[in-house]
Amino acid sequence: MIAPASVMIQARLPLLLLLLVGSGASGLAYQVLWLRELSLVFGVTVYAASTVLAAFMGGLAIGSAGAGRLLRRLGRPILAFGLAEILIGVTALGTMVVLGQAEPLDAALHRLTGGHLGALTAGRFLAATALLIVPTSLMGLTLPLISASSVVRASFGSRLSLAYGVNTAGGVIGAMVAGFVAIPAIGARGAIVAAAAINLSVGIVALMLSRATDTAETGPTAPDAPAHPQATEEGPLTVLPPRVLGTVVAASGAGAMALEILWFRALLQFVPATTYAFTTMLAVVLVGLAAGGMYASRLLRTPRQWTTWLVGVHFATAVFAIGSLTVLAYAFDRGWISSGPVLASVLAMLPATVCMGASLPVALHVAAMGARGSAAGVAGRVGRLYSLNVAGAVAGAVVTGFWLVPALGVRVSLVASASLFAGIAWLLAAAGARTTRGPLAAATVGFVAMAALLPDPLDLAFARRHGSDRPPLWRDEGPQATVSVHGDAVSRGLFIDGLTQASDRAATVRIHRTIGHLAMLLHPNPADALIIGLGGGATAGAASRHGARLSIVELNEGVRRAAPWFSHISYDVLRQPGTRTIVDDARSFLATTDERFDVVTADIIQPTHAGAGGLYSREYFSRVRARLKPGGLVLQWVGLREETAYKLIARTFQSVFPETTVWVDGTLLVGTLEPQRVSRTAVEQQLARPETRQALEAIGLTSYDTLLSWYTAGPDELRAFVGEGPLLTDDRPRVEFYRSLPANERLAPLAELHGAATRIVAP
């Protein structure tokens, strides 16, 4: 006969699981949103992004480690969980206030550190930690507190795994809604408010639930499994020493994060680097972890030799980490599958992440076996192990991103990270599963053979996407991205994470040079110019032909290193005495420099690429305006694109530069602080310089009259064409989230955009 208390506890399980879904959804939404918001302040360099991620995960680790101590004082797990959720919501709302002061703080850090990378990164880490430490530490309490509740302890291992799986499944929902719907619909800050509302709701319901549920914590122990190890048909259950178990959990966290980074780097060779692709990849990782946790929940209903089982699942992770990506690479290369992000992510990551999701709850179950008589003891052990797992993940991210990939490349790093899981299996076999050594040795031989046969996914993906007739000439697998140069006897191309960034083909070079030349030619006396993005160097090289000092801001060090391969189209711009290169995020540079420029222009940057929305927002254009000298101008490429996207970009640009003029059939916008006037005398003075004239002749711009023929329309015509409507902002970067725009839309009818060039002729 089931005791009434047990019936009550069983009835409350579905409600508790629903609360965990909400908690997980808000937690992953915050991660997506905070990383995005802080990237707009600190920049999207790998160093800036890593400091924010480390601060976020560090808070989780601190909170997890302190769960047992908190519960010993409070004594009521569900009550503590509810209070934590309410405080998460409140402090998350507080982060929006603090974020408003983050930009001046970053500028102060630049001045204080002199821009030194190490000191600046440390300062940003401290700033991000100060912002996120309270809400993330509270998030870290969630799983340990729930593990100590009578609802979970009634069938500890199974329900802990179920709680972990359900909480992670909530994370899938949060990541998908934030990354696909919320940001373009209600903005990042609106999404933070919505996530906070979920936390507050979860917390209030949890407080109501705690009135009855937590009473079991002060009375007799809930119907748990006994505190001592159970026996199986194979003998007594093996108990791992705490140090071994801690090492296993920390190492698996490091390996999991390393594999996630490497998978993402490899998959970008198969799928375009859009924000939707990144969200899909993250969601697939979370789906695998959730599915593994739920599978472990079923598995933990009966006693097993868990050490032996952990040996098997960790080695399976190693095998799947290599084997799954091998299957994807060969299937993609042979045309059996397309480049859809969902299928590619599932094939590469899902099998291994299911194993990861199953192994952590089992490890936590083993850790808590000796502490089940005490709720605080359970929370303490689970919390310590979970914090070690998170701390290992931080270490794995840093080591992999900053050292492993640059030193060994993606392919060898993938083998090394997978081998870490094989090493964990051997550690477990030595510590408590000696009967597995023979089969493990045989399996290791197969694993080594499979690792040796692992193809380079970057090469196979490139051949399928761009053809095998363009062999690799050079590759740099740096911390920021994989940069490569491919070519043949006819042309060369620059690629970043598999996407074409530049080419020395004549038509492409002409477009890039036009962007550089037109900006310089429209200014009467350009002395200082800023170029955002180096690319192949054609834009910057064209600007250099006008005798001005150039400052080139390039996000990726690998692109700078690739410059010699394109010196024939860039006039070898990086070696010219008046040129300097700054490897930094453009927004960060603009926000922290005191310099002013006559001309600001940019290499072609596609607004639909992940993170590019920050270079098309009203806030970004305002930063550019603030860095112009009197009489300065900025040239913005828009290109040919769908009507809504074109009008969003142009309308936003003109909201900052009301005197915007339109050039080259509507593809280029020129913003000035005063009405645009073009002097024949000033243009002909530039044409009189031999190196300038020769460079301009290469793009067909040979006279003042030719320049006027490139004029398309003036401010009034553009204003009438784009009409009233929304703007692109940091909070709502609609063009980057292009799926929020009308589908199957026609290209912008730029033929309707025209005006008389006589309006810009200087008297």
SS (H, E, C) 387-434: HHHHHHHHHHHHHHHHHHHHHHHHHHHHHHHHHHHHHHHHHHHHHHCH
- pLDDT at res. 215: 57
Asked, colleague to colleague, whether 1-216 and 245-464 share their fold, the answer is yes
Q: Which amino acid is at 145?
A: L
How many helices, marked H, and strands, marked E, lie in the chain?
30, 14
Q: Which amino acid is at 228?
A: H
Q: Which two tokens mark 554? A: 């390039």
- pLDDT at res. 713: 96
- pLDDT at res. 238: 59
With 60 as the cut, is the pLDDT of residue 46 above it? yes
With 60 as the cut, is the pLDDT of residue 705 above it? yes
Rounded CA-CA distance 274/281 in Å is 11
With 50 as the cut, is the pLDDT of residue 225 above it? no
With 50 as the cut, is the pLDDT of residue 758 above it? yes
**Which range scores top for mean pLDDT: 131-145, 355-369, 528-542?**
528-542
The predicted model gives 347-364 an average pLDDT of: 92
What does the mean pLDDT of the chain come to? 89
Q: In the chain, how long is the greatest CA-to-CA distance?
A: 101
- pLDDT at res. 47: 84
Q: Which two tokens mark 400? A: 């992999």
With 50 as the cut, is the pLDDT of residue 220 above it? no
Q: Answer yes or no: are the C-beta atoms of 163 and 146 closer than 8 Å.
A: yes
Rounded CA-CA distance 213/215 in Å is 6
Q: Which two tokens mark 522? A: 């429209």
Q: Would you kindly state where each structural domain of the chain is located, as residue ranges?
A: 1-216, 245-464, 465-499, 504-760
Rounded CA-CA distance 737/616 in Å is 12
- pLDDT at res. 243: 87
With 90 as the cut, is the pLDDT of residue 72 above it? no
49: CB partners within 8 A, 6+ apart: 35, 39, 42
3-state secondary structure of 539: helix
Secondary structure letter of residue 533 according to DSSP: -
pLDDT one-digit tens code per residue, 415-468: 999 999 999 999 998 887 677 888 899 999 999 999 988 888 888 888 878 777
Residue predicted with more confidence, 688 or 364: 688
The predicted model gives 461-479 an average pLDDT of: 84
The predicted model gives 137-150 an average pLDDT of: 89
Reference 713, options 683, 669, 762; nearest CA is 669
- pLDDT at res. 63: 92
Residue 85 C-beta-side C-alpha neighbours within 13 Å:
30
Rounded CA-CA distance 624/633 in Å is 10
Rounded CA-CA distance 527/544 in Å is 11
Place of tokens 């999207």: 44
Number of residues that this document lists for the chain: 763
The rounded Cα 494 to chain-centroid distance in angstroms is 22
Ramachandran sector of residue 495 (left: φ over 0; alpha: ψ -120 to 50; beta: rest): beta
Binned at pLDDT 50, 70 and 90, residue 684 comes out as very high
- pLDDT at res. 237: 52
The predicted model gives 5-32 an average pLDDT of: 82
Binned at pLDDT 50, 70 and 90, residue 223 comes out as very low
- pLDDT at res. 259: 94
Q: Which two tokens mark 243? A: 């140090």
Q: Which amino acid is at 653?
A: F
3-state secondary structure of 476: strand
Place of tokens 């192994």: 359
Q: What are phi and psi of 500, to 5 degrees?
A: -65, 125
Rounded CA-CA distance 72/92 in Å is 26
Rounded CA-CA distance 11/435 in Å is 41
Q: Kindly give the interhelix angle for 46-65 and 117-140, rounded to the nearest 10 degrees.
A: 30
pLDDT one-digit tens code per residue, 48-58: 888 888 889 99
Binned at pLDDT 50, 70 and 90, residue 14 comes out as confident
Reference 665, options 493, 469, 511; nearest CA is 511
With 80 as the cut, is the pLDDT of residue 495 above it? yes
Q: Which two tokens mark 366? A: 């083993």
Q: Answer yes or no: are the C-beta atoms of 536 and 566 closer than 8 Å.
A: yes
Reference 601, options 648, 641, 542, 658; nearest CA is 542
3-state secondary structure of 572: coil
Whole-model pTM over 0.85:
yes
With 60 as the cut, is the pLDDT of residue 125 above it? yes
CATH class of the structural domain 504-760: alpha beta
3-state secondary structure of 154: coil
Rounded CA-CA distance 70/675 in Å is 65
Q: Answer yes or no: are the C-beta atoms of 318 and 447 closer than 8 Å.
A: yes
Task: Tell me which CATH code domain 245-464 carries.
Answer: 1.20.1250
Binned at pLDDT 50, 70 and 90, residue 370 comes out as low
With 80 as the cut, is the pLDDT of residue 706 above it? yes
- pLDDT at res. 1: 40
The predicted model gives 609-615 an average pLDDT of: 92
With 90 as the cut, is the pLDDT of residue 148 above it? no
Place of tokens 């949890």: 206
Reference 255, options 60, 416, 64; nearest CA is 416
CATH class of the structural domain 1-216: mainly alpha
